[in-house]
């Protein structure tokens, strides 16, 4: 029987893993965007040989992962069925349902994962991707999750190695990205806290250096120590993730998929981050030493990296960061004077909680409002602090909006960049844009 490896460096170097990666990459070159292989364009016999190579290496590696035996068995069956069905759109529902990392939150446990999937903030095509990952679940996180911040679906993980779909900005592994015949009820979500921490440290460090921002002494460790930053993001993600389903919610923040103006999604993501900020304050008051660092990380990541990351087409994460920055600036908590950035650290918590209060009040009122009225109220909240595009139909007021038609006409009226970056962010982006780009595919 093959001994289970605990030396992850040795695991990554295994010939079986390297062969698996190579076959997955070659197969991806044959796949269409939906994951199928077009026999009129590509050699299906080659695709079949590559699948058999993948199956061979999965079987060779599987004994090292006895905790995933049911998943790997189902994976092999799904691969064989895909070949037998003629390489159409992949259906890996059976193996997806067999993979349950949320039931195995053991610190250091390693998983070999292979699915046809897109990678969020990465590659949009549902090609096969393989990843070796390690669960991050220290005792202190387990204790917090077992208490007031329960989140049974949350699985913090770290990269060991991956195929090209993760040599990108993607820092998550979500089951909804996998190609399946029907959408099941999802029971887990994995977030790569090592990539989040490494990306944060590089970008926040550049922002601090560029702007001359002076950090409190206890915040400086976030930029200096990867392990501390990684712990910080685990705690942040634990609370953020659970917040999507808690509170006085509109009927659909994210729970029921529908087309909405993207500022609704911006407010939802920001609400969850600011909820994590508030919870971190409560945990800090209870003596949790890592909690204060969560508050620093939320400010530095959300207010500075988010607005400058990604393109300007309905960038809801970016808009959430713009809103937080503008709110703090207009409250004189954050200032840009004499070409230096400063933060009133003593006033920060109160101001952040005030902004959270405004968003929570908007949500609370939403249950009494029609959908379109909620959209308009949300727009008014955002535009109180963030200046909209001068060419915006929405910015011209209710008389300019097609209120007598279907909601689709209102979403069609939203500009791709409804809220352009301010002059501050345009200038900052020129200074740190290359640093942000350099974090693509970063490892912890």
pLDDT 10s digits, 75-95: 999 999 999 999 999 999 999
Task: Assess whether 182 and 236 both reside in one domain.
Answer: no
Give the model confidence (pLDDT) of 325-354 as tens digits: 999 999 999 999 999 999 999 999 999 999
Same-domain pairing of 345 and 395 = yes
Residues 304, 236 share a domain: yes
For residue 218, being part of any structural domain is answered with no
Model confidence band, residue 254 (pLDDT cutoffs 50, 70, 90): low
Answer yes or no: is pLDDT of 2 > 50: no
Compute the C-alpha angle 19/24/30, nearest 5°: 135
Tens of pLDDT, residue by residue over 269-284, are 999 999 999 999 999 9
- Residue 7: pLDDT over 90: no
User: Could you tell me if 77 and 157 lie in one domain?
Assistant: yes
User: What's the pLDDT score for residue 5?
Assistant: 41
User: What are 58-71's pLDDT values in tens digits?
Assistant: 999 999 999 999 99
**Does some domain include residue 400?**
yes
Residue 54: inside a domain, yes or no? yes
- Report yes or no on 442 lying in a domain: no
Asked if residue 413 and residue 272 are part of one domain, the reply reads: yes
Measured between its terminal Cα atoms, the distance across the chain in Å is 32
- CA torsion angle for 48, 54, 59, 60 (degrees, to 10)? 130
Domain ends where: 170, 187, 204?
Answer: 187
Check whether residue 321 and residue 368 sit in a common domain. yes
Residue 144 has pLDDT above 70, yes or no: yes
User: Domain range for residue 40?
Assistant: 8-187
Starting from the edge strand earliest in sequence, which strands make up the sheet with 154-162, in order? 110-117, 127-135, 154-162, 189-192, 172-173
Between CA 137 and CA 231 the distance in angstroms is 10
Residue 358 tokens, joined = 């405004």
Structure tokens that stand for 53 in this block: 């190579």
Task: Please tell me whether residues 125 and 235 are part of one structural domain.
Answer: no
Look at residue 3 and tell me if it is in a domain: no
Domain boundary among 135, 160, 187: 187
Instruction: Give the residue from 171, 187, 203 where a domain finishes.
Output: 187
Residue 171 inside a domain? The answer is yes
Does the pLDDT of residue 97 top 80, yes or no?
yes
The tens digit of pLDDT for each residue in 401-423 reads 999 989 999 999 999 999 999 99
Domain identity same for 229 and 332? yes
Closest C-alpha to 179, from 244, 240, 90, 106: 90
- Flag whether 432 is in a domain: yes
Read off the pLDDT of residues 30-59 as tens digits, 9 standing for 90 and up: 999 999 999 999 999 999 999 999 999 999
Looking at the domain assignment, is residue 210 inside a domain? no
Q: What is the mean pLDDT of residues 3-29?
A: 87
Q: How many domains does the chain have?
A: 2
Same domain (yes/no): 183, 315: no
- 301 and 405 in one domain? yes
CA atoms of 36 and 39, how far apart (whole Å): 9
Q: Does 78 share its domain with 145?
A: yes
pLDDT surpasses 90 at 268: yes
Residues 6+ apart with CB under 8 A from 261: 375, 378, 379, 394, 410, 411, 414, 418
Half-sphere exposure of 389 (CA within 13 A, CB side): 16
Residue 2 contacts residue 64 (beta carbons within 8 Å): yes
């Amino acid at each position: 029987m093959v001994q289970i490896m605990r030396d992850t460096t040795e695991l990554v170097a295994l010939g079986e893993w390297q062969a698996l990666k190579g076959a997955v990459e070659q197969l991806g070159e044959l796949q269409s965007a939906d994951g199928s292989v077009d026999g009129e364009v590509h050699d299906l016999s080659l695709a079949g040989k590559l699948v058999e190579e993948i199956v061979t290496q999965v079987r060779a590696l599987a004994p090292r992962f006895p905790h995933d035996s049911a998943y790997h068995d189902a994976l092999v069956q799904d691969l064989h069925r895909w070949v037998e069905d003629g390489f159409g759109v992949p259906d890996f529902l059976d193996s997806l349902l067999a993979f349950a990392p949320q039931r195995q939150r053991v610190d250091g446990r390693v998983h070999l994962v292979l699915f046809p999937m897109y990678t969020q903030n990465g590659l949009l095509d549902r090609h096969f991707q393989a990843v070796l990952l390690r669960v991050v679940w220290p005792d202190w996180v387990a204790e917090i999750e077992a208490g007031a911040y329960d989140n049974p679906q949350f699985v913090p993980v770290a990269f060991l190695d991956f195929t090209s779909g993760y040599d990108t900005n993607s820092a998550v592994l979500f089951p909804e990205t996998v190609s399946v015949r029907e959408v099941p009820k999802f029971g887990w979500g994995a977030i790569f806290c090592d990539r989040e921490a490494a990306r944060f440290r590089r970008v926040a460090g550049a922002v601090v250096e560029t702007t001359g921002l002076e950090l409190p002494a206890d915040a400086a460790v976030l930029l200096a120590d990867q392990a501390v930053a990684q712990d910080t993001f685990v705690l942040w993600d634990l609370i953020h993730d659970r917040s999507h389903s808690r509170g006085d919610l509109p009927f659909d923040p994210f729970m029921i998929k529908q087309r909405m103006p993207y500022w609704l999604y911006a407010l939802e993501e920001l609400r969850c981050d600011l909820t994590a900020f508030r919870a971190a304050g409560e945990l800090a008051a209870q003596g949790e030493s890592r909690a204060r660092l969560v508050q620093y990380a939320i400010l530095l990541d959300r207010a500075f990296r988010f607005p400058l990351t990604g393109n300007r087409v309905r960038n809801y994460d970016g808009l959430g960061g713009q809103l937080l920055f503008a709110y703090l600036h207009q409250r004189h908590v954050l200032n840009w004077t004499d070409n230096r950035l400063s933060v009133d650290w003593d006033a920060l918590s109160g101001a952040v909680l005030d902004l959270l209060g405004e968003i929570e009040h908007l949500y609370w009122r939403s249950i009494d409002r029609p959908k379109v009225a909620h959209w308009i109220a949300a727009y008014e909240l955002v535009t109180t602090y963030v200046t909209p595009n001068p060419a915006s139909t929405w910015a011209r007021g209710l008389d300019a909006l097609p209120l007598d038609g279907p909601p689709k006409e209102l979403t069609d009226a939203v500009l791709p960049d409804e809220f352009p970056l301010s002059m501050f962010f345009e200038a900052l982006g020129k200074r740190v844009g290359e640093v942000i780009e350099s974090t693509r595919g970063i490892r912890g």
